[in-house]
């Protein structure tokens, strides 16, 4: 997919290079999305069952901020840094501090981009890389957590902690910034660049000023593996998912996934349960509740309209949406059953990956102090197609993301 097509697709789906949850792919891309999600889970199961010829790469999802895009613009040969604004029609590519002042007036973001512009050129980046900025020098602090001394940084929700006496901590303290790269772009022109999650940063030039790494999860299949019983359990779950998927009307799936309004209403409603930390158990009741919730939303839109023509138009839209939802209620229940099965399989994979020791420890700040928590999640990347989905325990991290104290850069 060309860069311009990639951006158009991202814009169409309401996301700007935003990775989707694996179980939402049946809503995002219909039958193909559901099939791809099942294939991802099967490949991850095979990897953790010890099959060396896995079709997926697994990366750790770092909870960084801001997103950093950097490298050489092939149109002019100049080094730039930026955020997701590099994809706007009026692209915000920053070549100088003055550009950053013009494009990013916010104090925290402004300062971080200037640090990135000063030090990232030392890496000798060819093409363009995307990553998450983890810290600038002033973001590092010393904390005692659970009786141990750590160097910590909090780019977003999670607090990353490295033992103070470790080599890694000393490397980070000597650096002016830290970044984790996860996507690369190549192309003869900026408009024709292609994105790849199968990133290779071995040729970057080391410098003490930048702590950097890729996001690859090292030797996941060799360190954390399913037992025979766990392999049988996840295989059974995936068999039920596959059977339900085959029983679900493909036209209904297409009507639901193909309607932007319906799709976003469903995802928004499901997220209300995540915020409340609720697992969807009774999918029939969940479907009925969804229909009531959507109808109430649409009725409010109609009432709030001031012109009679607008009210009539909104009423027609409401009738069409509700007719689609009511006519597809049984298949919608099946979709939720499919998603639940995918979540069960996904969480088995996540928990197994979490057993491996990570590069840093992770904590979250609560009203009662600091609490040990798991990494944000993982990303599964298809080695052939380059497609990627995120694997996040939503009842753990996504709920945390909605409720925890954060350290955002404005």
The confidence score (pLDDT) of residue 12 equals 32
Q: Is residue 261 part of a domain?
A: yes
- What are the Cα distances from residue 104, in Å, to 71, 101, 154, 215? 18, 6, 21, 27
Structural domains counted in the chain: 1
Q: Is residue 102 part of a domain?
A: no
Q: Is residue 271 part of a domain?
A: yes
Task: Tell me which residue of 96, 5, 107, 97 sits closest to 66, measured CA to CA.
Answer: 107
The confidence score (pLDDT) of residue 102 equals 94
Q: Is residue 96 part of a domain?
A: no
Q: 277 is in which domain, residue-wise? A: 3-54+225-355
Q: Is residue 34 part of a domain?
A: yes
- Under a CB-based contact definition with an 8 Å cutoff, are residues 136 and 112 in contact? yes
| Chain segment 153-179, per-residue pLDDT in tens | 999 888 999 999 999 999 999 999 999
| Chain segment 4-30, per-residue pLDDT in tens | 343 333 333 322 356 789 999 999 999
The confidence score (pLDDT) of residue 48 equals 86
The confidence score (pLDDT) of residue 18 equals 64
Helix (H) or strand (E) holding 362: strand 361-366
Q: Is residue 336 part of a domain?
A: yes
The confidence score (pLDDT) of residue 215 equals 87
Q: What average pLDDT values come out for the chain (410 residues) when binned by 10 residues? A: 39 48 96 95 88 74 91 96 85 94 90 97 95 95 89 91 93 97 91 86 96 76 75 97 98 96 96 89 97 96 94 95 96 98 95 78 74 78 80 75 51
- The CA radius of gyration of the chain, in Å to the nearest whole number, is 23
Task: Tell me which residue of 49, 52, 50, 20 sits closest to 37, measured CA to CA.
Answer: 20
Q: Is the pTM of this model over 0.85?
A: no
Task: Tell me which residue of 283, 342, 263 sits closest to 35, measured CA to CA.
Answer: 342
Q: Is residue 146 part of a domain?
A: no
Q: Is residue 28 part of a domain?
A: yes
């Amino acid at each position: 997919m060309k860069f311009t097509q990639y951006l158009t697709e991202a814009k169409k789906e309401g996301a700007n290079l935003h990775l989707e949850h694996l179980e939402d792919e049946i809503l995002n891309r219909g039958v193909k999305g559901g099939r791809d999600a099942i294939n991802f889970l099967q490949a991850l199961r095979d990897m953790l069952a010890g099959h060396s010829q896995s079709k997926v790469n697994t990366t750790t999802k770092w909870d960084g901020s801001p997103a950093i895009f950097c490298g050489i613009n092939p149109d002019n040969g100049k080094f730039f840094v930026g955020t997701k604004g590099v994809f706007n029609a009026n692209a915000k590519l920053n070549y100088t501090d003055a550009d950053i002042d013009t494009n990013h007036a916010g104090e925290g973001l402004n300062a971080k981009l200037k640090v990135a512009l000063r030090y990232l050129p030392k890496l000798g980046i060819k093409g363009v890389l995307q990553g998450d900025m983890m810290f600038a020098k002033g973001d590092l602090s010393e904390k005692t957590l659970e009786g141990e001394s750590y160097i910590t940084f909090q780019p977003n929700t999670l607090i990353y902690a490295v033992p103070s006496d470790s080599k890694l901590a000393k490397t980070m303290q000597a650096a002016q910034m830290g970044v984790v790269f996860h996507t690369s772009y190549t192309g003869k022109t900026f408009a024709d660049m292609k994105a790849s999650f199968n990133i290779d940063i071995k040729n970057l030039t080391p410098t003490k000023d930048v702590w950097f790494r890729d996001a690859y999860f090292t030797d996941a299949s060799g360190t954390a593996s399913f037992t025979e019983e766990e392999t049988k359990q996840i295989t059974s779950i995936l068999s039920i998912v596959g059977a339900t998927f085959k029983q679900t009307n493909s036209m209904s799936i297409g009507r639901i996934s193909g309607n932007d309004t319906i799709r976003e209403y469903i995802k928004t409603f499901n997220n209300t349960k995540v915020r409340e930390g609720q697992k969807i158990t009774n999918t029939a009741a969940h479907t009925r509740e969804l229909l009531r919730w959507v109808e109430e939303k649409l009725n409010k839109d109609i009432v709030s309209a001031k012109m009679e023509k607008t009210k009539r138009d909104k009423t027609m839209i409401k009738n069409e949406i509700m007719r689609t939802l009511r006519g597809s209620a049984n298949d919608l229940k099946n979709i939720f059953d499919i998603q639940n099965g995918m979540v069960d399989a996904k969480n088995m994979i996540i928990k197994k990956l979490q057993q491996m020791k990570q590069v840093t420890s992770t904590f979250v700040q609560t009203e009662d102090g600091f609490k040990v928590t798991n990494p944000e999640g993982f990303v599964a990347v298809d080695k052939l197609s380059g497609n990627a989905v995120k694997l996040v325990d939503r009842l753990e991290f996504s709920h945390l993301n909605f409720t925890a104290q954060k350290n955002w850069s404005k």
